[in-house]
Each structure stands twice: as C-alpha cells, then as structure tokens.
Amino acid sequence: MNITLNHNQTQLDAITLTVRELLTIKKFTFKMLVIKVNGVLVKKDQYEHFTIHENDDVQVIHLVSGG
C-alpha cells in the first residue's frame, strides 16, 4: 500500500491498516499525538478501528509542551 505520511510517499506491506497498526509499524510512541487522515482528525479512542487505505494522506503530529 502506498500512502503519504507526513508529506512523504511511504510504501507499506499491507492492503489496509488501522491507525494503531501504522503507529506501531512506524514506531510512533510519543504520548501526545494528533493524527489526521485525509484532513479528518482521528481521536485516540478511534485508533484501533480507523482504517487507512491506499493513497490516503496521513499526518502524525507530535505535540510538545514546555515552559
């Protein structure tokens, strides 16, 4: 499957993936993430069920806070 991940073309060995599976494969382990698929915000409780398909545009944004 080919997707755009954070503005980069990425090829994955799957037909479809859930957001959770993508995060695991790509080793995104940061606790504060914002995920968008084709411009749609995916809430944390949807990661297990929200499916990513061929040619989807996925953005994984790390939120950093500090003072």
Residue-level pLDDT at 64: 83
- 58 belongs to a structural domain: yes
To 5 degrees, how large is the angle CA 18–CA 23–CA 29? 150
- 34 belongs to a structural domain: yes
Number of domains comprising the chain: 1
- What confidence category does residue 67 fall into, taking pLDDT thresholds of 50, 70 and 90? low
Cβ atoms within 10 Å, residue 66: 3
Q: Output 18 or 64, whichever has higher pLDDT.
A: 18
- 57 belongs to a structural domain: yes
Contact 64, 34 (CB under 8 A): no
Residue-level pLDDT at 40: 97
Tell if the pTM clears 0.85, that is, is over it.
yes
Question: At 31, which CATH number?
Answer: 3.10.20.30
Domain that holds residue 41: 2-62
- 11 belongs to a structural domain: yes
- Residue count of the chain, please give it: 67
- 67 belongs to a structural domain: no
Render pLDDT for 8-59 as a digit per residue (tens, 0 to 9). Answer: 999 999 999 999 999 999 999 888 999 999 999 999 999 999 999 999 999 9
- 6 belongs to a structural domain: yes
DSSP assignment of 11-31, as one string?
A: E-S-S-EEHHHHHHHTT---S
